[in-house]
Amino acid sequence: MTIRSATDRPSHYAAAHDTAPIAAVRADAYKIPTDAPEADGTFAWTPTTLVVVEIEAGGCTGLGYTYTDASVVPLIRETLAEVLLHEQVSRIAALTQRLWHKVRNIGRSGLCANAISALDFALWDLNATLLGVPLVQLLGGVLRERVPIYGSGGFTSYSDAQLRDQLAHWVDVDGCTAVKMKVGSDPARDPSRVKAARRAIGDAALFVDANGALTVNGALQCAERFAEYGVAWFEEPVSSDDLDGMRRVRNAAPAIMDIAAGEYAYNSDDFRRMLQAQAVDVLQADATRCGGVTGFMQASQICDAWHMPLSAHCAPALHRHLAAAAPRLRHIEWFHDHVRIESMLFDGAPKPNRGTIAPDLSRPGCGLEFKRADAEPFAL
């Protein structure tokens, strides 16, 4: 059965929750075409692949997902599912630890981390669903009722008109107070693109993301030009693998500009190294990559210890509950590609209201239901 509201939970569910064995683990991949060609400073794409994970126990289903390659599906089905099957669903910490141990010899970052992230999220969603409470309640409860979002897209493949229309929509219609555009594929053209964006969004904060496309000196030259248009955030000016380069850009960039990175952090070691290197002003974390709910909340604790702002990267529907409970959270990235997919394929996907989204506290778990029939045309 599916429990649809946090109030219609039969009383035996909480009692049965502790011992409910995991009965099934499913993973499926879907390739969804973008609505226009998308590109950033170092990559271009026309479809996006979504991997959806479902875990069953006690008659309920937990949902998790990650945007990654379809090759994580056989990894989950053939290698990771057996770690979870027949185990007690409430033992999230033990099960997640076993998943990480299972991938020790094949490399825990990248695809393995994406797979474990989706499984971890599904475990948390399933536990909250079995208990009949919204996910945020298992994370310490609501710290903020609504979470700011910033519109994100502005792809380098867009014409200036497409760029202006998209950014202006987020400000004028969705009420965003900040928007982000891609830069770095053609640095000579970027100042005119940034100027066009500034004209379209008025006084809203303007963020740029180079996806690691630039050198340190190239990034600093761009930063000076971008500062003329009040750019307040420069994401991955150089590769975030180059922590020393990130720190050099951060030390020399105009003070109005936050340097941000963290979307390729797959575990708490990656976050710690980034902060120890003093590479960023704001740490980004992505629960679909860094270990699901467990990994994101670890990142949140690390940020707290470092007095560092935290920003959730992409997958906004999935980050809502986590963001509502994370002390230093600044905002969630309202990424065009994922917003479109989540509104198409998940019942309960958030809608922006005055530049914010909120967890749905009337639904148990993460409040999302996968629309499998709608996704079927995209199945791989």
Q: Which residues bind Mg ion (CB under 5 A)?
A: 209, 235
Q: Which is nearer to Mg ion, 120 or 209 (CB)?
A: 209
| Residue facing Mg ion at closest CB distance | 209
Q: Which is nearer to Mg ion, 73 or 323 (CB)?
A: 323
How far apart are alpha carbons 235 and 331 in whole angstroms?
A: 14
Nearer to Mg ion, 67 or 378 (CB): 67
* CB of 62 or CB of 184, closer to Mg ion: 184
Closest to Mg ion by CB, 174 or 235: 235
25 touches 55 (CB < 8 A): yes
Cα–Cα distance for residue pair 118/81, rounded to 1 Å: 12
| CB nearer to Mg ion: pick between 38 and 209 | 209
Q: How far is the CB of 209 from Mg ion (least distance, A)?
A: 4
Minimum separation from the CB atom of position 63 to Mg ion (A): 25
What number of helices (H) and strands (E) belong to the chain?
A: 15, 14
Separation of alpha carbons 24 and 63, rounded Å: 12
CB of 235 to Mg ion, least distance (A): 5
Find out whether 329 and 290 touch, Cβ atoms under 8 Å.
Answer: no
Least distance to Mg ion from the beta carbon of 315, Å? 13
**41 or 292, CB closer to Mg ion?**
41
β partners of residue 207: 180, 233
CB of 96 to Mg ion, least distance (A): 26
Element (H, E) at 124: helix 111-131
Judged by CB, which is closer to Mg ion: 62, or 316?
Answer: 316
Q: Please state the closest distance from residue 319 (CB atom) to Mg ion, in A.
A: 14
Helices (H), 139-189: 160-172
254: nearest Cα among 229, 275, 272, 271: 229
Q: Residues near 289 by Cβ (< 8 Å), separated by ≥ 6?
A: 66, 68, 113, 114, 117, 263, 264, 265, 266, 313
Residue with tokens 């649809």: 4
Locate 228 and state its tokens: 């003329």
Q: Smallest gap, in angstroms, from Cβ of residue 152 to Mg ion?
A: 8
Q: For residue 348, which of 324, 370, 367, 376 has the smallest C-alpha distance?
A: 367
Spatial contact of 81 and 44, defined as CB atoms under 8 Å apart: no
Cα dihedral across residues 216, 217, 218, 219: positive or negative: positive
Minimum distance from CB of 360 to Mg ion (Å)?
27
- Give the Cα separation of 96 and 102 in Å (integer): 10
